[in-house]
Amino acid sequence: MEEFRRHVPSCPRGRPPGVRRLDVAFDYGAFPVWAWITIPAHGGRPSREVVGSVSPEWLSISAKLATELRAWSDWMDLHSEYGGGRAAADDQYRAWTAQGRKLAQQLAEETGAEVVYQGDRGEIDLDCPHCG
């Protein structure tokens, strides 16, 4: 496994030079793809880089993949404690996890980026001052 995958998306070690990293991760109401983006200089403030949810348009992905990613995220919104809390069986959660993995692979194929599916990240680097 590439070492950068053991770091959280916002960690500088999780973004080695020359690697375009995207993360597929659920967050309430957000489109489930995260990336480093540059906020342009404005009002005397310098440009800066931040990690945030990015749109399908920013990613230039197919409408089909965008719809599937949104549906994947919406399912968890309905079944999470804060999004409605509708009961789901363990096998439904396993299917949701497997679908996220599949969508992450499709995202990698469409964008050419290194895509980290947060459900598969594994152990974080506890020695990292940013992650641990």
Q: What is the pLDDT of residues 23-72, one digit of tens each?
A: 999 998 899 999 988 899 999 999 998 889 999 999 999 999 999 999 99
Residue 126 counted as domain residue? no
Position 17 scores a pLDDT of 81
Residue 112: per-residue pLDDT: 95
Domain-embedded: residue 86: yes
In a domain, 56, yes or no: yes
Q: Is the dihedral of CA 100, 13, 16, 60 positive or negative?
A: positive
Asked if the model's pLDDT at residue 95 lies above 70, the reply is: yes
**Per-residue model confidence (pLDDT) at position 109:** 98
Which pLDDT score is estimated for 46?
95
**HEC profile of 26-65:** CCCCCCCEEEEEEECCECCECCEEEEEECCHHHHCCCHHH
Q: Is residue 125 part of a domain?
A: no
Domain-embedded: residue 47: yes
Q: What is the mean pLDDT of residues 69-86?
A: 84
Q: Which of 78, 86, 9 is nearest to 49 (CA)?
A: 9
Look at residue 73 and tell me whether its pLDDT is greater than 60: yes
Count: domains in the chain: 1
Q: CB atoms < 10 A from the CB of 66, how many? A: 18
Q: Are 21 and 114 in contact (CB under 8 A)?
A: yes
* 128 part of a folded domain: no
- State the pLDDT at residue 33: 98
Average pLDDT over the chain, rounded to whole? 88
- Position with higher pLDDT, 85 vs 121: 85
| Percent of the residues in the chain that have a pLDDT greater than 90, as a whole number | 52
In a domain, residue 40? The reply is yes
Q: Is residue 78 part of a domain?
A: yes
> Can you tell me the distance from the alpha carbon of 55 to that of 23, in angstroms, rounded to the nearest whole number?
13
Domain interval for residue 60: 3-120
